[in-house]
Amino acid sequence: AQTVTQSQPEMSVQEAETVTLSCTYDTSESDYYLFWYKQPPSRQMILVIRQEAYKQQNATENRFSVNFQKAAKSFSLKISDSQLGDAAMYFCAYRSAETSGSRLTFGEGTQLTVNP
Amino acid sequence: NAGVTQTPKFQVLKTGQSMTLQCAQDMNHEYMSWYRQDPGMGLRLIHYSVGAGITDQGEVPNGYNVSRSTTEDFPLRLLSAAPSQTSVYFCASSYSFQGNTIYFGEGSWLTVV
């Protein structure tokens, strides 16, 4: 079974600065997908960014980018120019390429605080 | 297009009572799942379905039943509620096997007293 670990229960960053959230995973599969989800206090699950394991290029979405190290099984999220609205719980998630579409394995989450 | 709709949003149950959390999607998605989220933990998979009439267990299925009689609906039944089932429940769906876009409902807060 796959596992996802987020070793930082809490992180804080000053507004306009950069922060990196860590995620490691364990799998024996070679083809899979990795996700970062944002969960604000409303509990809504918002997809931040997605990475396909077969793509060597790191995914980028505006101020959000990932550092995907397949050999090290590491998938960190970098948030640049942090904004107050970025404050939320962030979850790293794994999905096998062989399993059905909405089955995800989540990490424990990292609570991000953005200080003005 | 309402996406994934969960009802109720909030519910308080007494120990031993039964109830059903409803999940409906109007996107013709084959794949649907139920998760629970406990404090300090990520979402954990309870049950999932790959199409009408086909369901299977996830990581934490004990105490829950599901059925999938239509593509649109995937209800989650608590047979005899226990305080350990106090949690936030999320329903999710996706269209393709690759699941590149996974849609989540807004969550259902359940308290068992």
User: For residue range A24-61, what is the model confidence (pLDDT) as tens digits?
Assistant: 999 999 889 999 999 999 999 999 999 999 988 999 99
Q: What is the pLDDT of residue B2?
A: 67
pLDDT digits (tens, 9 = 90+) for B22-65: 999 999 999 999 999 998 788 999 999 999 999 999 999 999 99
Which residue among A102, A105, A108 places its CB closest to the CB of B32? A102
Residue A82 in contact with partner chain B when CB distance is under 8 A: no
Cβ-based neighbours of B29, under 8 Å, separated by 6 or more:
A101, A102, B71, B93, B94, B95, B103
Chain segment B64-89, per-residue pLDDT in tens = 999 999 999 999 999 999 999 999 99
* A vs B: CB pairs below 8 A: 76
Cross-chain residue pair B97–A102, CB shorter than 8 Å: no
